[in-house]
Amino acid sequence: MGRAARVAAAGDGGDMAEKDNGVAGAGVGTGTGAATGAELIDFRDARVRGGDHIVRGTAADGLVRAFAVTARDTVQTACDNHHASPLVTAALGRLMMGGLMMGAMSKDEDELITLVMSGDGPIGGLTVTANNKGQVKGYANHPNVWLDLKGDNHLDVGGGIGAGTLTVVRDLPGVEPYSSTVPLATGEVGDDLTYYFAVSDQIPTAVGVGVLVDVDLSVRQAGGFVVQLMPGYDDALIDQLSANLKGVESVTEMQERGMSPTDVLGYLLRGMGYEELDAMPAEFHCGCDKDRASRIVLALGRDELESMVEKGEPALVHCHFCGREYRFEPDELKALLDG
């Protein structure tokens, strides 16, 4: 890695809003579709940019590719689904945003990216799955972990995860899944993704992901970016990018100042000919349903199901990803068996 590793020094904010901080944050993701005079207003684009979304861009004549995301509602949904503590909300939210951006890197519509962080800390592990359509889901092994804030008033995500590994699985229908595992760098998620890109994909990358939890424990800000150097880059480009990233505040701080993903990338890649390619909405999406749950029930086996029908017991299937519970009454079990 050598020099390239220096690019990988970006803020990873996981702050807890201070109790006495009464400053109101500016709006996130203001629509850029507003037009004056005779220009047409692109309502669809404005709607996308008004909510959770991912932007893709490029700079330095294609030698830099970049992604940024704002995902407050997505992370809040994960928090609600799992009744997650602020610490776990931050940890899971950071990994979910990493997943969203890695999903957006995929050129294949059907590819699923699964990120698994396993550690010896009290959270135990995080699992996130994302596609390239801006959909992500995720869960923590232990969603209710509370740890003291670190000295800098940040949530101790690294302490919650502990030492362990990050595994990335790429899944395409009809193809053997490809997976790659690296040791965790710090357990703070952003550092771990940076390390993964450098070691596994040999791509110098800067990753910043952050979740700001408000004093009422709701998600106040959630955002991230990934900036990568593509083959053909030279030392001058590394130096320029390193200089741009040096001392950059955390993503959530930029969001607090009202910066959208477009603004964030424009700022990080200032002076480098940043061009935005597109924007797409992002959301928490599980995709489970009763039909899929019935296949899990059937996997219990005929004997087990017949015995449940006999005893009049329902079968319950709990979806780890979204927390939904599917209940199959004995007569439904019987119908499944007969089917």
Q: Which residues bind Zn ion (CB under 5 A)?
A: 286, 288, 319, 321-322, 324
23 φ/ψ angles, rounded to the nearest 5 degrees: -70, 125
CB 84, min distance to Zn ion, A = 15
Edge-first strand listing for the sheet containing 283-284: 178-183, 164-171, 112-119, 125-130, 135-140, 283-284
- Report how far residue 69's alpha carbon sits from residue 52's, in angstroms, rounded to the nearest whole number: 7
Tokens of 59: 């700079």
21 burial via Cβ count (<10 Å: 0-12, 13-18, 19+): exposed
CB 138, min distance to Zn ion, A = 11
Judged by beta carbon, residue 139 or residue 195, the one nearer Zn ion is: 139
- Report how far residue 258's alpha carbon sits from residue 280's, in angstroms, rounded to the nearest whole number: 19
CB 161, min distance to Zn ion, A = 23
Judged by beta carbon, residue 233 or residue 321, the one nearer Zn ion is: 321
CB 79, min distance to Zn ion, A = 15
Judged by beta carbon, residue 197 or residue 321, the one nearer Zn ion is: 321
For residues 126 and 134, the answer to whether their CB atoms sit within 8 Å is: no
Judged by beta carbon, residue 34 or residue 316, the one nearer Zn ion is: 316
- Report how far residue 126's alpha carbon sits from residue 161's, in angstroms, rounded to the nearest whole number: 8
Tokens of 129: 């799955």
Beta 164-171 vs 178-183: how paired, if at all? antiparallel
Q: Dihedral (C-alpha) 172, 177, 183, 187: value to the nearest 10 degrees?
A: 40
Angle at 301 between CA 298 and CA 171, to 5 degrees: 55
CB 297, min distance to Zn ion, A = 15
Angle at 100 between CA 95 and CA 105, to 5 degrees: 120
Judged by beta carbon, residue 142 or residue 324, the one nearer Zn ion is: 324
Judged by beta carbon, residue 6 or residue 324, the one nearer Zn ion is: 324
CB 319, min distance to Zn ion, A = 3
Q: How far is CA 187 from CA 7, 35, 278, 308, in A?
A: 19, 44, 31, 43
CB 189, min distance to Zn ion, A = 22
CB 293, min distance to Zn ion, A = 9
Judged by beta carbon, residue 113 or residue 248, the one nearer Zn ion is: 113
Judged by beta carbon, residue 71 or residue 319, the one nearer Zn ion is: 319
